[in-house]
Amino acid sequence: MPGFELFGDLERKEVNEVLDTGVLMRYGFDAMRKDRWKAREMEAALADRMQTEHAQLVSSGTAALTIALASAGVGAGDEVIMPCFTFVASFESILALGAIPVLVDIDDTLTLDPDAVEKAITPNTKVIMPVHMCGSMADLNALRMICDKHGLLLLEDACQAIGGSYKGKPLGSIGDLGCFSFDYVKTITCGEGGAIITNNPEYKKNADHYSDHGHDHIGKDRGAETHPFLGYNFRISELNAAVGLAQLARLDEFLAIQKRNYTKIREAITDIPGVTFRRVPEGGEENYSFLSFFLEDFETAKAVQKALDESGVDGCMHWLDNNWHYIKKWEHLKNKTSLGKLPQEVIEKLPDYHQADFSASDHWMGRTLSLLIKIGWSEEELQSRAEKIRAVVQGVMA
C-alpha cells in the first residue's frame, strides 16, 4: 500500500486512451468517445472481482458511503451504528443525510465489538456499519446474525481493506452493501474515487441515479433523461476511472507484495516478549496493508513509536491521539460544529460524545501500533527496515 508506488505502462495506456478521445466525463458524448467507457469497464471488472452483481463508481470513498446509505433509504433520524475507531468520513456520510451516527466500542480486532453493537440497538437503528480498519475485518458472522435478528442492514466500510476476505468471500461483498475508497493512498487508486458494490438491483439503480443529480440514465439523449428523485454530483471522471481500471487489474500483484513485506516485518518482532497482534476473526484474511500489534501498555507503545520515529522508521501510527481516526480528537463531532446548521433533529438526537465512555476502546487504542506496509520497498530496504524495527522494539522493551 499504496498503488501509486507502482504506476506504470498499464496506467499510462488506459489514461492515454481517454485523452485520445478527449471525453473526460463518464456520461454522454457517445460519438466522440470511440466506444471507450472506462468507468463502465471498471464497474464490470470490480463486480467480477468482488463476486457481486453490481458495482457503482463514484468520486470518493466518502461519497460511496453517503450514496450507499441513501440508496438503501437511510435518512433523517435513522441511527447507524459504527465504531469509534475509523476515519471521519464514516460519521460525515451519516450526518450528511440527517441520520444519527451511534459510535460504539471496538475489541481486539480493532473493529466493531458485537456485544457493544447489540447493546446500542434502539427502535431507530437501521444500519450496522463495520469499518475494516487497517486492512482487517470485524466478526462479520456475529454482526450478520445481529442484523438478521433485528431486521437491520449490514453496510461494510471496506475503504481500507480491498483484497481482504472472510470465509472465502471478498470483504465488501458480505453485507447488503459494501464501499471502497480509491484515493491516492489506498491499496489501489484512481487518484480520487470510490465504489459501492451490492447484489440488490434496487440499491444499484438508486446509487446510479443519486450519484448523478437523480438522472435516470434511460435512453441515449442525456438531455431527455428524467429525474425520479433528487440527487447530487458524486460522479467519477473517465481519467480517474482509467487509472483505477489499470490498478484493479494489478490488485493481486499488489496484494502479494504487501503480504510478503508484512510477513517479513511480522516475523522480525513476533518472538519479542510483550508483543501480540490484533485478532483476525477465524476464516478471515487481511489485505496486509498494515501490521497492527499490541504492546503491554500505553507508555510502552508511545516509547516504541517515538524510538521508531527517531530511528528513521516512518509510517508508524499510534491511534489514541490521532486527529483523523479516533474519537478522542473529534471535537467537531463532539461539539456538533458544522458550517451549515445541523438539523435540530440531529442536534437533539446526537449522543453527547463529550460524556461517552470509550475506556474499553482506549484499552486497545492506547496499546496499538500500526506499521504501514509499502509495496515500493526494495529487498534491501525491506531487510533493513525489518532489522531496525526489531532492534528498536527490543531496545525499548529490554
- Helices and strands: H and E segment counts in the chain: 14, 14
Give the C-alpha separation, 177 to 195, whole Å.
Answer: 10
Classify residue 16 by burial, with Cβ atoms within 10 Å: 0-12, 13-18, 19+.
exposed
CATH fold label, 3-250: Aspartate Aminotransferase; domain 2 (3.40.640)
- Rounded to 10°, the helix 38-49/238-249 angle is 30
Asked if 67 and 205 count as a contact pair (C-beta separation under 8 A), the reply is no
Inform me whether the pLDDT recorded for 181 exceeds 90: yes
The pLDDT of 105-111, averaged and rounded, is 98
How do the domains of the chain map onto residue ranges?
A: 3-250, 252-397
Give the C-alpha separation, 343 to 100, whole Å.
Answer: 11
On average, the pLDDT of the chain sits at 96
What's residue 1's pLDDT? Answer: 73
Distances in whole angstroms, Cα of residue 95 to Cα of each of 78, 89, 293, 346: 10, 10, 32, 8
Residue 100 neighbours by CB distance under 10 Å = 24
What's residue 222's pLDDT? Answer: 85
Asked if 196 and 67 count as a contact pair (C-beta separation under 8 A), the reply is yes
Asked if 155 and 176 count as a contact pair (C-beta separation under 8 A), the reply is yes
Strands 290-294 and 276-277: antiparallel
- 186 annotated active-site: yes
Q: What percent of the chain has pLDDT over 70?
A: 100
Catalytic residue among 126, 186, 302, 374: 186
The pLDDT of 88-108, averaged and rounded, is 97
Per residue, the 3-state secondary structure of 57-89, as one string, reads EECCHHHHHHHHHHHCCCCCCCEEEEECECCCH
Smallest CA-to-CA distance from 131 within 169, 98, 103, 152 is with 103
Inform me whether the pLDDT recorded for 115 exceeds 80: yes
Give the C-alpha separation, 326 to 348, whole Å.
Answer: 23
Which H helix or E strand runs over 285? strand 284-285
DSSP 355-381: T---HHHHHHHTTEEEEE--S---HHH
What's residue 89's pLDDT? Answer: 96
pLDDT of 319-369, one tens digit each?
A: 998 889 999 999 999 999 999 888 898 999 999 999 999 999 999 999 999
Give the C-alpha separation, 87 to 99, whole Å.
Answer: 17
Which triple of cell numbers denotes residue 154? Answer: 449490514
What's residue 273's pLDDT? Answer: 96
Classify residue 110 by burial, with Cβ atoms within 10 Å: 0-12, 13-18, 19+.
buried
Q: Which of 221-230, 246-255, 381-390 has the lowest mean pLDDT?
A: 221-230
Question: What CATH number is given for 252-397 in this structure?
Answer: 3.90.1150.10
Smallest CA-to-CA distance from 147 within 128, 166, 130 is with 128
Give the C-alpha separation, 314 to 381, whole Å.
Answer: 12
pLDDT of 35-87, one tens digit each?
A: 999 999 999 999 999 999 999 999 999 999 999 999 999 999 999 999 999 99
What's residue 219's pLDDT? Answer: 79
Asked if 365 and 319 count as a contact pair (C-beta separation under 8 A), the reply is yes
Inform me whether the pLDDT recorded for 264 exceeds 80: yes
269-300 CB burial, b ≥16 within 10 A, e <16: beebeebeebbbbeebbbbbbbbbbbbeebeb
Strands 153-157 and 125-128: parallel
Per residue, the 3-state secondary structure of 170-226, as one string, reads ECCCCCCEEEEECECCCCCCCECCEEEEECCHHHHHHHHHHCECCCCCCCCCHHHCC
160-174 CB burial, b ≥16 within 10 A, e <16: bbbbbbbeeebbbbb
Residue 124 neighbours by CB distance under 10 Å = 13
What's residue 224's pLDDT? Answer: 85
- CA–CA–CA angle 339, 344, 347 (5° rounding): 75
pLDDT of 182-207, one tens digit each?
A: 999 999 999 999 999 999 999 999 99
Give the C-alpha separation, 391 to 141, whole Å.
Answer: 39
Q: CB within 8 A of 8, min separation 6: which ones?
A: none
The pLDDT of 138-153, averaged and rounded, is 98
The pLDDT of 372-391, averaged and rounded, is 97
